[in-house]
Amino acid sequence: EAGVAQSPRYKIIEKRQSVAFWCNPISGHATLYWYQQILGQGPKLLIQFQNNGVVDDSQLPKDRFSAERLKGVDSTLKIQPAKLEDSAVYLCASSLAGQGITGELFFGEGSRLTVL
């Protein structure tokens, strides 16, 4: 079974530039999550989708971050314009519908962003 796919694995940009990350969850997983993991900290939930609807985006900095999950499968996370403090690993995870709180999240390998 294919795992959660993310790209690109690494990205270096200047501040004020834009960047986009892509995630393809495990087939059949209705719930998709984007987490931000800053060096030395645990993952922080940015946004959670159930199919193509947003369940929670309370910690997403909406002035610069946006995410979409068209057709309820792939998802894209965009940052525009980037700030130095956005340097982090962006993790995508997926789970079966309704399994998020008691089941297992399956994570991709992450996209490491460096903002100079």
Partner 1 sequence: AQSVTQLDSHVSVSEGTPVLLRCNYSSSYSPSLFWYVQHPNKGLQLLLKYTSAATLVKGINGFEAEFKKSETSFHLTKPSAHMSDAAEYFCAANRDDKIIFGKGTRLHILP
Residues that bind partner 1 in the complex, under the rule CB under 8 A: 3-4, 40-45, 48, 55-56, 91, 93, 100-110
* Minimum distance, C-beta of residue 81 to partner 1, in the bound complex (Å): 27
Contact predicate 48/31, CB 8 Å = yes
Return the beta strands (E) in 1-116 as ranges. 5-7, 10-13, 19-24, 31-37, 44-50, 53-56, 65-68, 75-79, 88-95, 106-107, 111-115
Measured CA to CA, the distance from residue 87 to residue 38 in angstroms comes to 7
Phi-psi region of 40 (alpha: psi -120 to 50; beta: other; left: phi over 0): left
Contact predicate 29/49, CB 8 Å = no
* Minimum distance, C-beta of residue 50 to partner 1, in the bound complex (Å): 10
Identify which of residues 80 and 114 has a Cβ nearer to partner 1 in the complex.
Answer: 114
Identify which of residues 84 and 101 has a Cβ nearer to partner 1 in the complex.
Answer: 101
Identify which of residues 17 and 109 has a Cβ nearer to partner 1 in the complex.
Answer: 109
* Minimum distance, C-beta of residue 40 to partner 1, in the bound complex (Å): 7
Identify which of residues 33 and 65 has a Cβ nearer to partner 1 in the complex.
Answer: 33
